[in-house]
Amino acid sequence: MEYLIKQYPLDTGALEIQYIEEFFGEFPRKKTAHEIIARLRDREFLILMAEALLPDDPGVVVPVSFKVVHELQAVEAEPKLRDLVARLQDCVRFAGRKVLYSWIGGTRRDWRGQGHFRALTEESEAWAHASGFHEVVVKTKNKFYDMRGTLDQLEFDVVKYEVNAADNRESKVYLSKQLTSDVVRAHTSTRTVVYADQR
Ligand SMILES: CC(C)(COP(=O)(O)OP(=O)(O)OC[C@H]1O[C@@H](n2cnc3c(N)ncnc32)[C@H](O)[C@@H]1OP(=O)(O)O)[C@@H](O)C(=O)NCCC(=O)NCCS
């Protein structure tokens, strides 16, 4: 199967992400386009969406999976990112290296298990490696079993576990992957990438 991936510029991409997140019942707090733009505006980022045919109407192509990754620096101004960097201090080396944060992503329920998220992840890794990033980190929770299983298959290593004493399902898991050329060579998906226009 060949995956169709669209890469978005900031403004259009932020609106597309806001739209697709409406399809995810499991996301308690959906991101707004405003929030996405504020976070990504002054840093390197990639907004990717996989598109696929509607099974009931094969003439129609719809966005089915998305992924947003961005640069994470040792010194961050935004409180959430400052907090993240502080939590990663003991397990991710920032000095002299480019670190990528895999911020948000998912696949619409009807299209899960078809390789769309692997294709987006591999495309983001290929881009990141070519852009000089050394490592990609991601954060999830114990209770997100689909995501944990997927990150396992995608060969992310757990680098930190933060227990939530009140509810272990809410405990945070931090994972990472070194972006070596071997990782890129081991990619298995076949992808076509098109670039969306700025509106
Ligand atoms: C996690 C998620 C993104 C996976 O998307 P997907 O498009 O179904 O993933 P893919 O089909 O590309 O699968 C990638 C790999 O993960 C594996 N995988 C997918 N879902 C899995 C699951 N539930 N358990 C174990 N492995 C799984 C696949 O078998 C595949 O492995 P392979 O390529 O080695 O065969 C999707 O289930 C999702 O959006 N879940 C909700 C998101 C979420 O919980 N977010 C919480 C915030 S972190």
Segments of the chain with pLDDT less than 50: none
- Domain ranges in the chain are 2-195
CA 41 to chain centre: 17
CA–centroid distance, 96 to ligand 1, in Å, is: 32
Q: Residue 151: CB partners within 8 Å, gap ≥ 6? A: 138, 140, 175
Q: What is the pLDDT of residue 199?
A: 64
- The answer to whether the CB of 117 falls within 8 A of the CB of 107 is yes
Our answer on whether the CB atom of 70 is closer than 6 Å to any ligand 1 atom is no
H or E element at residue 10: helix 10-21
CATH 3.10.580.10 fits 2-195, yes or no: no
Q: Among 153, 155, 172, 183, say which to mutate for ligand 1: greatest number of ligand atoms within 8 Å of CB.
A: 153
Tell me how far apart the alpha carbons of residues 74 and 82 are, in angstroms, rounded to a whole number: 8
102 in ligand 1 pocket by Cβ < 6 Å?
no
d(CA 60, CA 99): 37
Q: Amino acid identity of 85?
A: V
Are the C-beta atoms of residues 22 and 30 closer than 8 Å to each other?
yes
Task: Please enumerate in sequence order all residues whose Cβ is within 8 A of that of 116, keeping only pairs 6 or more positions apart, or say none.
Answer: 3, 50, 52, 64, 65, 107
Joined tokens for residue 106 = 């998912």
Cβ atoms 117, 168 nearer than 8 A: no
State the Cα–Cα distance between residues 86 and 82, nearest whole angstrom.
6
Say what the pTM is. 0.97
CA 117 to centroid of ligand 1, rounded, Å: 7
User: What pLDDT sits at residue 197?
Assistant: 84
Spatial contact of 117 and 105, defined as CB atoms under 8 Å apart: yes
Q: What is the pLDDT of residue 29?
A: 85
> Which string of b and e fits 61-88 if b means at least 16 CB within 10 Å?
eebbbbbbbbbbeeebeeeebeebbeeb
What are φ and ψ of residue 87, in 5° steps?
A: -70, -25
**If you average pLDDT over every residue of the chain, what do you get?**
96
